[in-house]
Amino acid sequence: MQIAANSAVSIHYTLTNDAGEVLDSSQGGSPLVYLHGASNIISGLENALVGKQAGDSLKVSIEPADAYGEKDASLIAELSRNMFEGVDELAVGMQFHASGPDGGLQIVTIVGLDGDKVTVDGNHPLAGQRLHFDVQVAEVREATADELAHGHIHGEGCNH
C-alpha cells in the first residue's frame, strides 16, 4: 500500500539541521505513527512521503516555509522579571505557557536574561531552520474509521 490521504503511517527518522547536528530521532525506539493528510506532521515531510510504501527510504530537506515557518520577530518580547512571580530561578531555555496574540495559549521560551529583563520567544524552536530528514517507512495501512474521526492514529496509551 502506498502512502496517501487517510493512511496510517509508521516511520523511523533522523532529523538534522544544516550543520549536521541530530535534533531528533526515532532510531533505537518506537517509530513515529501519524495519520497522513491530517496535518499531524510538517507539510514538507508529509508531501515528500506521498506514494512511498513500507520498506522505502528517503532523504529530504525541508525549507522553513514547509516546516515551522520563518522566525517572526513579533513573537519575541522583553518582559520584566516580576512577570514570572512564583518562579524562584529563571534560566535560558525554560518554557512557559503564555497568552498569545489571538488570546489562546502559546509556549514561550526564555532566550535571554539581563538583570530584571527577560527575553522570551514564542516562535517554534525550529522556526527559520531548514530541516533534513532521513526516513525509513516501516508500515502503511488504512486508517480505521475511529482514527479518521479523531484525526490521529490510535495506539498504546490512547484513551478514545
Query: In this model, does residue 122 exceed pLDDT 80?
Result: yes
**CA–CA separation, 76 vs 93, rounded Å?**
14
CATH number of 73-121: 2.40.10.330
> Cell digits for 95?
518554557
Check if 7-68+126-150 and 73-121 are the same fold: no
Of the candidate CATH numbers 3.20.20.80, 3.90.660.10, 3.10.50.40, 3.30.43.10, the domain formed by 7-68+126-150 belongs to: 3.10.50.40
**CA–CA separation, 58 vs 54, rounded Å?**
12
Give yes or no for a contact between 107 and 97, defined as CB atoms under 8 angstroms apart: yes
Nearby residues of 9 by Cβ (< 8 Å), 6 or more positions away = 3, 33, 34, 35, 36, 49, 137, 139, 140
pTM: 0.84
Q: Delimit the domains of the chain by residue range.
A: 7-68+126-150, 73-121
What tens digit of pLDDT does each residue of 75-109 get? 999 999 999 988 989 999 999 998 877 788 889 99
Query: In this model, does residue 159 exceed pLDDT 80?
Result: no
